[in-house]
Amino acid sequence: MAPDEILFLTSNAHKAAEARSILNKYGISIINRPAKGTEIQSDSLADVARFCAQDAFKRLGRPLFVEDSGLFIDALNGFPGVYSSTAYAQIGCPGILRLLSGLQNRAAQFRCAVAFIDRQGARIFEAESSGSISEKEAGPSGFGYDPIFIPKGHEKTFAQAPALKARLSHRAKALDALGRHLRGI
């Protein structure tokens, strides 16, 4: 039996808004709390998310999930990857475009690991969205690296095409899997 209300621990209001609209399709409401808690250092998004979820469940004792995500750029050996949040604060989209200046290979993936936990234990849902880094920033919507990420097979960035992002994003795919799991479908 799925809980109708789940805590989502994130300090990122954009993540919370996206999660709310995705899980709404499954009749699941989200209560957003900003305190994600301890984040371990690891190369694995899944390990970071799992640790956070387990740590928070010990404190709060109710069904919850956390999500760890990042942008992995092939030509930069996966950078900014697990450092996406810090890299965004330090160099932002302009810095990433400068690092890729003159490079042909602009392939990149957004990846995400959602860790859901309840009394039965933790479950991890991982997903990715493939695409490429644009030549310049474009679009007003979304957050983070959305203005420079073009999903595979398309020409607009996530920030120019929010409906496309809602369908194709790493977060949409991982949270769809969580919604199906909770509803047993």
Amino acid in the structure at residue 68: D
In whole angstroms, the minimum distance from the beta carbon of 117 to ligand ITT comes to 15
Q: Is position 139 an interface residue for ligand ITT (rule: CB under 6 A)?
A: no
Instruction: Report the distance separating Cα 127 and Cα 120, nearest Å.
Output: 22
Q: Which of 146, 116, 149 lies closest to 14 in space, CA to CA? A: 146
Coil, helix or strand for 102?
coil
Q: Is position 146 an interface residue for ligand ITT (rule: CB under 6 A)?
A: yes
Q: Is position 144 an interface residue for ligand ITT (rule: CB under 6 A)?
A: yes
DSSP E strand stretches across 51-155: 64-73, 107-118, 121-133, 149-151
Q: Which residue, 21 or 184, is less far from ligand ITT as judged by CB?
A: 21
Residue from 7, 23, 28, 36 touching ligand ITT (CB under 6 A): that is: 36
CA-based torsion, 44, 45, 46, 49: positive or negative: positive
Residue from 50, 56, 70, 124 touching ligand ITT (CB under 6 A): that is: 70
- Name the site residues for ligand ITT (rule: CB under 6 A): 10-12, 15, 36, 67-71, 84-85, 88, 110, 142-146, 169, 171
